[in-house]
A and B are shown apart, each in its own frame.
Chain A
Amino acid sequence: MRHDPDQDGRTSLRQRLRNSLWPVLKSLVLVGVTTIGLLILDQFFALRHVTLVYLVPVVIAATKLGIVPAVIAAIAGGGASAFFFYPPIYSFLVQDPQHLIELPLFVFVAIVTGHLATNLKRQAELARRRETEVQDLYAFSRQLAAAHTANDIYTAIRQHLTSMIGRRTILFETAPRGGVGATLSNEERVPERVKRETEAVIGRRKDSRSDSVVDDGEGHLWLVRPVAGKAEDFGVLAIDLGQQAGAKADAIRQRVDTVLDDATTTLEHLDLGQAISEARVRSETEALRDALIGSVSHQLRTPLVSILGAATVISRAPGNRSDPRLASLADILRDEVDRLNSDVQDLLDAALISSKGVRLESEWVEPADIVNTAIDRRQRLLAGHRVALDIPSELPFIYVDPILLEQALGQIVDNAAKYSQPGSAIQVAVRSDSTSVILSVKDEGFGLVGEESTRLWERFFRGERHASNVSGSGLGLWIAKAFVTANGGEIEAFSEGAGRGTIVSIRLPASEAPKPDLMVGDDG
């Protein structure tokens, strides 16, 4: 139900009067319109039982305007039928005794119907609101399930609270281990005064009711309030109250209190405090590991440049050039350096993905370019395989980060070559349908068995069958999946079993490319 929080003041009295008079006026208009309609019809047909028709405005008033306008519509309807339709016409007198019974009966029925209709509407509204609440809660729990870092959890909480309160809210994470100082859990811009007030609130948060209202200097009032349950602390919330002041703001504040009490209970039930601290520990561990991997990999890569360079120079040196044994030794060096380099690159990529996420630099790309680059860069690796490409000539352009997509496809091709016998075939194909472009790599290799097909995409996962005899970091497919997902695509692998090959496909959304109006004047 809509309720008006204004309680005092002359302007608000006038406002209230207008607010309650307006629906009554509307209901009278409805009755008037019905009457005019009936009078017109009455010119053509001799109408009987017109009173019943007045139930229509009553029901409309009851569902749209509330019970008071409905009652007034009922009385007005009764009056109008007495005046216009019951003899003597144009008088409120009623002669026929049957009509004398009919009229009060109508008013009674109309009021009851109106009351029922209002109730029904209220219940429908309640049900609808519960449904949105349940949907919100469902979305919230789904987001929580997917949350990995403390930040994800805070974002989920903030979105949940925003949708429950219906106003702009900003959630400040209180510093871990009881420290004072607010960390912003998202990247929104916050007025400076609100930020300072938040810190003040965090400072005195031991008091149970330490909320306060602050003016941000730009005409907006903000309510700053801790979100804390009995035992746990979920941060401090700043809510934009808008430009209201006084009683209106107080009413919003009361509603926020109610909503937050509910929400805090939910958060406690979900044991979020625990989840947040676990996520913090997890991210610290990961940050340390990634920093380590990053610096070690850089140290590993620098000498590779000299090793590869020097080896290829030796094999090309005058006097050595004609010696096939030296050339093949240089080839070995080159292959091993390539392999080591790609493992080091995987480590660097993986560290970068988990510390900074995937940053896209998307553009319109010719899908064939991705495939050709991925294959050409791996010529040495693929030299022992029969590689077949199947690329249609008229593919839609795709909007992706070409570098990342090439690396993702490259990882798949690497795997196809590594986990199959020399001499076997690898087929790379591109297909398109109305909604997507699909790149697929099909090999005749060792296939996938057991947990390989389910754990394939995990970080550092390596199948036990191959861990000892095929080199790899266990990161390739994890990286490929991260890059494809970041580009809005999906990646999946299918195998009929051991020794029966694997098909990996990357599905990317195909969207409408811009029209080439610059091509005008070109006959090409």
Chain B
Amino acid sequence: MREALRSEFVKQHTTKTTVSLLGAMLGLVLVSVLLHGFGFSARDLAIRSNQLRVFVEAGEGLGATFAGLLGAMSVTTEVRNGTIRPTFLSIPQRGRVIAAKATTSMLTGLAFGLVATGIAALIGTIVLSGRGIPVQLDGSGYALLLAGGASAAALWAVIGVGIGAIVRNQVIAIVAIFVWIEIVENLLVDSAPAISRYMPATLGQAITGDRIGALHTPALGAALLALYATVAIAAGWRTTTRRDFA
């Protein structure tokens, strides 16, 4: 298992994929936090829950999305380029490869979530202060935001590996993750909040302490999201160990 982990680590650091995803994520975090920070009225932004929303939407939301993409692409890029064949020739115990991908993606996803939420909170706080709006979040609020953003992204990276292993097609996997997080769940939050609060993207928000549409406590949100990650990786493991690789 240590060899599989080391190999995945070398893979992650010898292409531009990770850095490109990080760059794209940071760009979008910046755009999102600036649009929300300057777009809403000072009266709306004076409310604590709205301030948190701005930080969470930009930070945790994009952190989890890009961590999910990172996880999915750890599998789909290999299928697309054919490197999955030398990978399985070196380590024919395919479950070991999937476990290694889940672990390395989880660690990098954690960093993605921490950076995204940290930048969103930092820039968001600067924008609020610049507009003369008193910041309502205290130290523990920031701590929960950062810890929640990092945990949600780490778990989403594992979900991504599962989705990538099941779908295998890069374009379909990327589109599916984007559409699910950014469109499907957003629609569900408004139209069916009773359902959406059990959905994985909303659970990610719940971990940060954001309670809009998510009635769970952060701990329960984390536990339920971890359950999603477990199911996704188990399904990905099962399909990968059983399928033929052409």
- B partners with A: no
Q: Which residues of A contact B (CB under 8 A)?
A: none
Q: Which residues of B contact A (CB under 8 A)?
A: none
